[in-house]
Amino acid sequence: NVILSDIRKPPDDVFYNGPFIYSDILDYKNLREIVVNNRITWLFHYSALLSAVGEANVPLARAVNITGLHNILDIAAEHSLRLFVPSTIGAFGPTSPRNPTPDLCIQRPRTIYGVSKVHAELMGEYYHYRYGLDFRCLRYPGIISADSQPGGGTTDYAVQIFHDAIKNGQFQCNLKSDTRLPMMYIDDCLKATLAVMEAPAASLSMRTYNISAMSFSPEELVQEVKKHIPELQVTYNVDAVRQAIADSWPMNFDDSNARRDWGWKHDFDLSELVTTMFNILGSDSRVAQIN
């Protein structure tokens, strides 16, 4: 039984598909009421401001990403919940090894988003050892999905290109053409999240794991997209803030511990990713045109 929540009004397909409630991550009393009234046992905590958006509003990012996390940690510990909190490639910084990046290494991120996620990893691990909280965390690469619009992350170019290619055959990329970053299709992301949550506690050698599926640059993605839309026109207009963020992030993730401990295995490589995105977005576009 799953209850979804947000501070935004859900689209019809979400609202009519099952229970949906309003929840503000900064309202501690309401969060406790939700857990108690619905007898919650597992909690997936996705509330966060992403990298580029967070840099534009640091006070809000600090409140949502850090204060909101503290609320969730206290409630999860009080009610013995199994808690999942996603981390990110942004939890690493320019002094971290980038190719590959192991689970355990120096982490000195230079965004409020990255700092807040390192804080989440360490606080979750502390609550596990101090209070016995069943805290589980995955460091996500850039997540690519046809179901949602780009949300202010540095890797969002890899979603935007599909919408722009279908809409007008033109795409302007805000990162350099050779900027390599770890990426993953949404189905693999959800598969990994459920797998780590369902894994027996005894199989987990750590509380935070890297997960990976592929790494590519904008130019490599463009070439794959052009196999479907050969007339695509691409220009590069580099955003200095996003480029600086990307240059401080891993180029490849070492996720060997996840593959060993709880059997992580990805399904989608670059070609499968691009084909799947066009199959979904292309059919949606044709339906819209017919309507």
Residues annotated as catalytic (active site), given as ranges: 113
The span from the CA of 77 to the CA of 70, in Å, is: 11
Asked if the bond preceding 182 is cis, omega within 30° of 0, the reply is no
Secondary structure percentages of the chain, helix, strand, coil, to 5 = 50, 15, 35
Pair 34, 23: CB distance under 8 Å: yes
In degrees and rounded to multiples of 5, residue 280 shows phi and psi of -80, -55
Burial category of 144 from C-beta neighbours within 10 Å (exposed 0-12, middle 13-18, buried 19 and up)? buried
The span from the CA of 210 to the CA of 250, in Å, is: 11
Instruction: Tell me, rounded to whole angstroms, the distance of Cα 184 from its chain centroid.
Output: 9
- Our CA angle for 122, 75, 87, nearest 5°, is 35
In degrees and rounded to multiples of 5, residue 117 shows phi and psi of -75, -35
The span from the CA of 214 to the CA of 226, in Å, is: 19
Pair 250, 89: CB distance under 8 Å: yes
